[in-house]
Amino acid sequence: MQIAGWLRRLTSRSGGPPPAGDHRAFGAWGEDAAAEFLRKQGMKVLARNFQCPGVKGDLDIVAWEQETLVFVEVKTRRSSDVRTAESAVNWQKKRTLIRLARAYRSRQRRTQLRWRYDVVSVYPGSIQHFPNAFKES
């Protein structure tokens, strides 16, 4: 199934993205679209919005793909006129995601598994997936 057609059907089923100004609902809409997209790509979604005491922020999606734990940051934008969604994952955000991923792996006793960090950009009408968007350094 082509992504554009699938996303149009998702948008029409959900009534489309929430109106401008409702940032939380818009972000949740993007995360729902990203999770569905990843499932259609064969990933199993293990967790959404994972939080850890002492670390500000959350892991949008934790997924499993072919013996690899995948930590996915979802960036939802209304327009491509603003800074690209994937460029919004700056060094501070990466540091937070790494701390949260370490906490997740420790809690789940999955410290010996392979893992990676992906970014999914969601715009009304399109989704882009960036596997291995960054590495721990």
Domains along the chain with CATH numbers: 3-134 (3.40.1350.10)
Which residue is listed with tokens 């598994």?
113
Banded pLDDT at 125 (limits 50, 70, 90): confident
Q: Other C-beta atoms within 10 Å of 82: how many?
A: 9
Question: What pTM was estimated for this model as a whole?
Answer: 0.82
Q: Of 108, 111, 110, whose CA–CA distance to 52 is shortest?
A: 108
Span 88-117, average pLDDT:
88
